[in-house]
Amino acid sequence: MQARVYQNAGKPFPGTRGDMALRSDEGSAEVTDLYEAAYLVVKGWKVRAVECIPLSGALSCRLSFAGRGLEEAVDEYFAKTACVNLYAFRTAYNQVNSYVHQAKRQYALREGTGGGS
Protein backbone atom coordinates (compact mmCIF):
# COMPACT_ATOMS: atom_id res chain seq x y z
CA MET A 1 0.00 0.00 0.00
CA GLN A 2 1.13 3.53 -0.65
CA ALA A 3 0.48 6.81 1.13
CA ARG A 4 -2.62 8.68 0.02
CA VAL A 5 -3.77 12.23 0.66
CA TYR A 6 -7.35 12.81 1.75
CA GLN A 7 -9.08 16.15 1.78
CA ASN A 8 -12.46 15.90 3.49
CA ALA A 9 -14.15 13.44 1.09
CA GLY A 10 -12.53 15.01 -1.96
CA LYS A 11 -13.17 18.58 -0.83
CA PRO A 12 -10.75 20.84 1.04
CA PHE A 13 -10.89 20.83 4.81
CA PRO A 14 -12.95 23.76 6.18
CA GLY A 15 -11.12 27.06 5.90
CA THR A 16 -8.53 25.88 3.39
CA ARG A 17 -7.88 26.67 -0.25
CA GLY A 18 -7.73 22.98 -1.01
CA ASP A 19 -4.66 23.04 -3.21
CA MET A 20 -1.08 22.53 -2.14
CA ALA A 21 0.34 25.14 -4.52
CA LEU A 22 2.45 27.62 -2.58
CA ARG A 23 3.51 31.13 -3.47
CA SER A 24 7.24 31.67 -3.29
CA ASP A 25 6.87 33.73 -0.09
CA GLU A 26 4.96 31.01 1.79
CA GLY A 27 6.51 28.43 4.04
CA SER A 28 5.22 24.92 4.50
CA ALA A 29 5.34 22.20 7.14
CA GLU A 30 4.32 18.58 7.34
CA VAL A 31 3.83 17.23 10.85
CA THR A 32 2.86 13.90 12.41
CA ASP A 33 2.69 15.18 16.00
CA LEU A 34 -0.95 16.02 16.79
CA TYR A 35 0.10 18.44 19.55
CA GLU A 36 2.30 20.35 17.12
CA ALA A 37 -0.53 20.38 14.58
CA ALA A 38 -2.97 21.69 17.21
CA TYR A 39 -0.48 24.42 18.13
CA LEU A 40 -0.23 25.52 14.50
CA VAL A 41 -4.04 25.59 14.21
CA VAL A 42 -4.29 27.74 17.36
CA LYS A 43 -1.68 30.11 15.90
CA GLY A 44 -3.86 30.57 12.81
CA TRP A 45 -2.70 28.08 10.18
CA LYS A 46 -5.17 25.77 8.49
CA VAL A 47 -4.74 22.07 7.83
CA ARG A 48 -4.22 21.84 4.07
CA ALA A 49 -4.25 18.04 3.76
CA VAL A 50 -3.94 14.83 5.75
CA GLU A 51 -1.80 12.05 4.27
CA CYS A 52 -2.23 8.48 5.50
CA ILE A 53 0.98 6.47 5.67
CA PRO A 54 1.01 2.72 6.39
CA LEU A 55 3.81 1.86 8.85
CA SER A 56 4.47 -1.69 10.07
CA GLY A 57 0.83 -2.73 10.14
CA ALA A 58 -0.35 0.58 11.61
CA LEU A 59 -1.58 3.71 9.90
CA SER A 60 0.07 7.07 10.62
CA CYS A 61 -1.01 10.47 9.34
CA ARG A 62 0.97 13.49 8.21
CA LEU A 63 -0.77 16.89 8.30
CA SER A 64 0.27 19.62 5.87
CA PHE A 65 0.27 23.35 6.61
CA ALA A 66 1.34 26.34 4.54
CA GLY A 67 1.57 30.08 4.99
CA ARG A 68 3.73 33.03 5.91
CA GLY A 69 5.58 32.83 9.19
CA LEU A 70 5.08 29.09 9.59
CA GLU A 71 8.76 28.33 10.10
CA GLU A 72 8.93 30.74 13.04
CA ALA A 73 5.93 29.08 14.69
CA VAL A 74 7.48 25.62 14.25
CA ASP A 75 10.77 26.91 15.71
CA GLU A 76 8.88 28.38 18.67
CA TYR A 77 7.14 25.04 19.27
CA PHE A 78 10.40 23.08 19.29
CA ALA A 79 12.20 25.71 21.35
CA LYS A 80 9.56 25.06 24.03
CA THR A 81 8.61 28.75 24.14
CA ALA A 82 5.13 28.22 22.68
CA CYS A 83 2.29 29.67 24.74
CA VAL A 84 -1.40 29.35 23.85
CA ASN A 85 -4.80 29.55 25.49
CA LEU A 86 -5.54 26.08 26.91
CA TYR A 87 -9.20 26.08 25.85
CA ALA A 88 -8.29 27.10 22.29
CA PHE A 89 -5.61 24.39 22.21
CA ARG A 90 -8.07 21.75 23.40
CA THR A 91 -10.53 22.78 20.69
CA ALA A 92 -7.80 22.73 18.02
CA TYR A 93 -6.56 19.31 19.19
CA ASN A 94 -10.08 17.88 18.88
CA GLN A 95 -10.37 19.38 15.38
CA VAL A 96 -7.02 17.91 14.27
CA ASN A 97 -7.87 14.54 15.82
CA SER A 98 -11.18 14.56 13.94
CA TYR A 99 -9.37 15.23 10.63
CA VAL A 100 -7.00 12.32 11.30
CA HIS A 101 -9.84 9.91 12.13
CA GLN A 102 -11.76 11.03 9.04
CA ALA A 103 -8.70 10.49 6.83
CA LYS A 104 -8.10 7.04 8.34
CA ARG A 105 -11.72 6.04 7.71
CA GLN A 106 -11.50 7.23 4.09
CA TYR A 107 -8.22 5.35 3.67
CA ALA A 108 -9.73 2.15 5.08
CA LEU A 109 -12.77 2.42 2.80
CA ARG A 110 -10.67 3.00 -0.31
CA GLU A 111 -8.10 0.35 0.53
CA GLY A 112 -10.66 -2.15 1.83
CA THR A 113 -8.88 -2.58 5.16
CA GLY A 114 -11.86 -2.33 7.50
CA GLY A 115 -12.63 0.29 10.15
CA GLY A 116 -9.42 2.34 10.08
CA SER A 117 -9.78 4.05 13.46
Q: pLDDT tens for residues 66-77? A: 888 888 999 999
Q: What is the pLDDT confidence band of residue 21, given thresholds at 50, 70 and 90?
A: very low
Say whether 2 sits in a helix, a strand or coil: coil
The residues, ordered by sequence, that sit 6+ positions from 27 with a Cβ below 8 Å of its Cβ are: 66, 67, 68, 69, 70, 71
- Nearest partner of 69 among 91, 44, 106, 92, judged by Cα: 44
Total residue count of the chain as it appears in this document: 117
At 1, which amino acid appears? M
Rounded to the nearest 10 degrees, how much is the dihedral formed by the CA atoms of 66, 100, 40, 26?
0
In the chain, the percentage of residues whose pLDDT exceeds 90 is: 56
- pLDDT, residue 40, reads 96
Q: What is the pTM of this model?
A: 0.74
Q: What is the pLDDT confidence band of residue 55, given thresholds at 50, 70 and 90?
A: confident
16 pLDDT higher than 80: no
With contact defined as beta carbons under 8 Å apart, do 25 and 72 qualify? Answer: no
Average pLDDT over residues 106-115: 78
In the chain, the percentage of residues whose pLDDT exceeds 70 is: 74
- Of 13-22, 39-48, 65-74, the one with minimum mean pLDDT is 13-22
Backbone angles phi and psi of 116, in degrees to 5: 75, 10
